[in-house]
Amino acid sequence: MSQVQAGLASEDQKQKKFEVFNNKSFLFLFISSLMSAPGYYVYLIGVEWLMLTISEERFYFGLLFIAASIPRLIFMGVGGVVADRFQKKTILFLTDITRASFVLIILFLLLWSDIQIWHLVILSALFGISDAFSFPTTDSLTAEILNEEELQRGNSLIQMTKQISPIFGPILGGSLIVWIGFSGVFTMAFAMMTIASITVLFVRPKTDDRDMIKDSPFQDFKKGIEYVRSKPLLKTIMLIGFVVNFFVSGPLTLGIPIIVKDVFNQNALGLSTLQVSLGIGALTGAFLLSLISNMKKPGRMLLVFMIAFGIVYMLTGLALHLYVNAALLLIGGILLQFINIPIITMVQRTTDKKMLGRVMGLLMTISTGLVPVSFLVTSVLLALDVHILTIVIAGGAFAAAFPLLLFKNQSLVEFKYDHAAEKEGY
C-alpha cells in the first residue's frame, strides 16, 4: 500500500470513529445524557451536604441512599416493561422533567419554607423510582437509533457521560455550595435536568415497531423472564452481571473510605484520590472502547477482562500504599468498562427490539438494582468483625476465578457480532 493510500485509509478510520455523531438522534441523546447524568450528581452532592447540615444524626444520611435504592430495585423490572410499551424518548423526557421538578421543590422549600429531613428522604425515594424507568430505557433507545455495528461505540460514548458525572458533578456542585450556597447548586441541577428533558424530545428512532398492546403489564414482564430463560447467552450475561456487582459493588464502595481511614490513616484528600482514580479509569475505558467499533470475539475477551479485573481488585485488598491502590483502581476502572460495555452491546445485538426494554430492565435489576444487597452483606460481614481487606481479597479472588468456569460456555465464548443477527441461537 502506498503512503497516500495508507494516509487515506487512516483518515477514513478517524472519520468512522466519530461518524456516530452524524446520526442526529444519537447526538441529541448524547447531549441529553451529558446534561442529565452530571446534573444528577450536582443534585446529589447538594442534597447530601444539605442533609449533613440540617441533621447531626448520620443515620438520616444513610437513609437517603436506602430511600433511593429500594424503589429502584422494586420498579426496575416495571421500567423495562414500560420501555417496551411506550415511546422511549417520551419516557426519558418524563423522567428528566420530573427530576427537575423534584429539585424545584427543594429550591422552593429552601427559599420559602422550612426544609425538613422527611422532605429529602421522600424526594430521594422519588428519584429512585425515576431511575428505575430511566436506566433500562436509555440503553434500549440507543439500540433503536444506531446501526448494530455502531452500538459498541455509541454505548461507550453514553457511558463516558456517566463516568464524567462522578468527577465533574461533585466538583461543580461543591464549588457552587461554597460560592453561592444551596440555592446555587440546586438551580444548576434544575437547569441541567430541564435541558436534558428538552433535548431528548429531538430524538427520532428509526422505527417504532411495537405491536398493539394485547397483554397485561404482568404478562409482559413474565414474557421478558421467559425470553431470557430461552436464550443461553442472555442467561449467562445475567449471571455475570450479578457476580460482578454483588462481589464488587458493596466491598468496593464501602471499602474505599474504610481503607483510606483505617488502613492508610489518610484524610478526605486520600479518599478523593482513590475515588477520582476509579472515575478516571472508567472514563478512560469508555473512551478507549469508543475508538473500537467491534471486538472479534467479545464473549471470550469479556472473560479475559473479568479475570484481569478480579486480580487487580484482589491486589487492592493488599493495601500496599495509597498511591499503589490509586493506580490499581485506575486500571480496575478501565477493565470494568471492558466488561460492562460489551455486556450491554451483546444484549442489544441479540435481543428482539420488542423485548429489549424488558431484558434491559431485568439486567439492571440483577446488577444495579441488587447493589443494596451487596451493601447489606458487606455491612453484616463488617459487623461480624471480618476485616474489610479480607472481604476485598475474597471478592477479587472469586471475581477472577468465576470466569474460568465459563470458558466452556459456547454461547458466550464463540459469540461474534457478525452472527448476532441470527438471534434464535442465542
Are 254 and 373 in a shared domain? yes
Contact in structure between 40 and 165 (CB atoms under 8 Å)? yes
Distance CA 354, CA 356 (A): 6
181, 272: one domain: no
Residue that finishes a domain, picked among 204, 234, 252: 204
Q: Are residues 188 and 335 in the same domain?
A: no
With residues binned 3-state (H G I as helix, E B as strand, rest as coil), the percentages for the chain, rounded to 5, are 85, 0, 15
Which residues fall within 8 angstroms of residue 162, CB to CB, at 6 or more apart? 33, 37
**Total domain count, the chain:** 2
Question: What are the cell numbers at 49?
Answer: 451536604
Q: Is residue 366 part of a domain?
A: yes
31 vs 167, more confident = 31
- Of the listed ranges 120-134, 169-183, 296-310, 342-356, the least confidently predicted one is 169-183
- Residue 391, C-alpha cell as written in the block: 472481604
Residue 30 and residue 135 share a domain: yes
Does residue 210 fall inside a structural domain? no
Domain boundary among 155, 171, 204: 204
CATH number of the domain at 89, please. 1.20.1250.20
In a domain, 215, yes or no: no
Q: Which domain holds residue 80?
A: 15-204
Q: Of the given ranges (2-6, 143-147, 240-244, 249-253), which has the lowest mean pLDDT?
A: 2-6
pLDDT digit string, tens, across residues 278-332: 888 988 998 898 887 677 788 899 999 999 999 999 999 998 899 999 999 999 9
Residue 293 Cα distances to 13, 152, 347, angstroms: 10, 6, 16
Q: How confident is the model at residue 418 (pLDDT cuts 50, 70, 90)?
A: low
308 and 348, same domain (yes or no): yes
What pLDDT shows up at residue 58? 57
Q: 19-72: per-residue pLDDT in tens?
A: 777 888 889 998 998 898 888 888 887 887 788 778 766 567 667 777 888 888
Most confident of 102-116, 315-329, 349-363: 315-329
Q: Is the pLDDT of residue 2 over 50?
A: no
Say whether both 194 and 242 belong to one domain: no
Please indicate, yes or no, whether residues 230 and 186 belong to a single structural domain of this protein. Answer: no
pTM of the predicted structure, to 2 decimals: 0.74
Q: How far apart are CA 361 and CA 186, in angstroms?
A: 29
Across the range 96-115, mean pLDDT stands at: 90
Q: Which residue has the higher pLDDT, 403 or 373?
A: 403
Is the pLDDT at 407 greater than 50? The verdict is yes
Do residues 317 and 179 share a domain?
no
The whole-angstrom separation of Cα 22 and Cα 37 is: 22
Residue 4's pLDDT band (boundaries 50, 70, 90)?
very low
Alpha carbons 62 and 58: distance in angstroms, whole number: 7
Residues 253 and 336: their CA atoms lie apart, in Å, by 14
Question: Packing angle between helix 298-316 and helix 232-258, nearest 10 degrees?
Answer: 20
Higher pLDDT, 341 or 170: 341
DSSP 420: T
Decide if 5 is inside a domain.
Answer: no
- Kindly report the average pLDDT of the chain as a whole number: 82
8 domain-assigned: no
Q: At CA 345, angle to CA 410 and CA 241, rounded to 5?
A: 70
C-alpha cell at 146: 444506531
Instruction: Provide, rounded to the nearest whole percent, the portion of the chain with pLDDT above 70.
Output: 87
Q: Is the pLDDT of residue 350 over 90?
A: no
Does residue 125 form part of some domain? yes
Instruction: Determine the residue type at 172.
Output: L
Per-residue model confidence (pLDDT) at position 289: 85
Interhelix angle 151-179/322-350, rounded to 10 degrees, is: 130
Are the C-beta atoms of residues 238 and 370 closer than 8 Å to each other?
no
164 lies in a domain?
A: yes
The residue among 141, 169, 204 that closes a domain is 204
Q: Which of 193, 184, 174 is nearest to 48 (CA)?
A: 174
User: Is the separation of the CB atoms in 108 and 379 below 8 Å?
Assistant: no
Residues 273 and 323 in one domain: yes
Alpha helices in 1-148 (DSSP H): 3-18, 24-54, 58-85, 88-112, 117-145
Neighbours of 387 (CB within 10 A): 14
For residue 422, the tally of other CB atoms under 10 A from its CB is: 9
Q: How many CA atoms lie within 13 A of 389 on its CB side?
A: 13
Residue type, 272: S
Instruction: Specify whether 132 is located in the same domain as 261.
Output: no
Among 185-189, 256-260, 418-422, top mean pLDDT goes to: 185-189
| More reliable by pLDDT, 253 or 94 | 94
Going by C-beta distance under 8 Å and a sequence separation of 6 or more, which residues neighbour residue 178?
none
Kindly state the average pLDDT of the residues 382-408.
Answer: 91
All 3 cell numbers of residue 419?
A: 452472527
Please check whether residue 378 is in contact with residue 392, taking contact to mean a CB–CB distance below 8 angstroms: no
Q: Are residues 239 and 176 in the same domain?
A: no
User: Is 262 part of a structural domain of the chain?
Assistant: yes
CA distance 205 to 88: 9
Looking at the fold, whether 144 and 274 belong to one and the same domain comes out as: no
Confidence of residue 16 (pLDDT cuts 50, 70, 90): low
